[in-house]
Structure 1
Amino acid sequence: MPSMPPVVVYPPDERGGRRVRIDSEISGMAYGVRDVAEFLRRAGLEIEPSEVTQAAWIDWRGGGPDVWTH
């Protein structure tokens, strides 16, 4: 597997959205694991939503992939 860019999923805001940063760029606001997978796909990384929840190279801040409320 090629080296992965740093991926950070920030804590949920008051509406349950989590900012996603890939490398040094904010990719958007995710409201679920599928959104994170889509941002990664747009960045050229083919990954399934089920793989997102287990990827050790994703830095989940403020809770893991199952936390979507503030």
Structure 2
Amino acid sequence: MSPRPRVVVYPPNAQGGRRVRCDGEMLGRALGPADLLEFLRRAGLDPDVVRLDDPLLIEWRGGGPAVWTPDIGGT
């Protein structure tokens, strides 16, 4: 069995923020990649080496690192 990603980024809410968890702990709501990297820095990860597209580190739910607004109306 492969290890689970340490970080989970949840789908965007109506305001475009995405909840972020690391090692099961809620870190906050990121409004963009800069917020996410700051949360990861506070959690002890080096933002200079973190790759947002690394599936071994981050599980993206509801779209990947380019999605920060909700998909309203299925477009």
TM-score bracket, normalised by the shorter chain, equals: 0.7 to 0.9
- The AA in structure 2 aligned to 1:31 is L
What TM-score, normalized by structure 2, do the two folds share?
0.78
SS at match of 1:37: helix
1:1-70 → structure 2 map (5 Å cutoff) = 6-48=6-48, 51-56=50-55, 57-70=57-70
- The structure with the largest helix share of the pair is 1
Deviation, 1:53, is 2.4
The one-letter amino acid of 1:45's match is L
| Number of corresponding residues | 66
Letter in 2 for 1:54: D
Contact between 1:33 and 1:52, CA under 8 Å: does it hold in 2? Answer: no
| Residues 5-47 of structure 1: CA deviation (Å, up to 9, x unaligned) | 6100000000000000001111000011111111110011112
In the alignment, structure 2 segments of 5+ residues that lack a partner are 71-75
- Structure-1 separation of matches of 2:27 and 2:13: 16
Identity across the alignment (%): 57
What TM-score results when the alignment is normalised by the length of structure 1? 0.83
CA RMSD in angstroms, aligned pairs only: 1.9
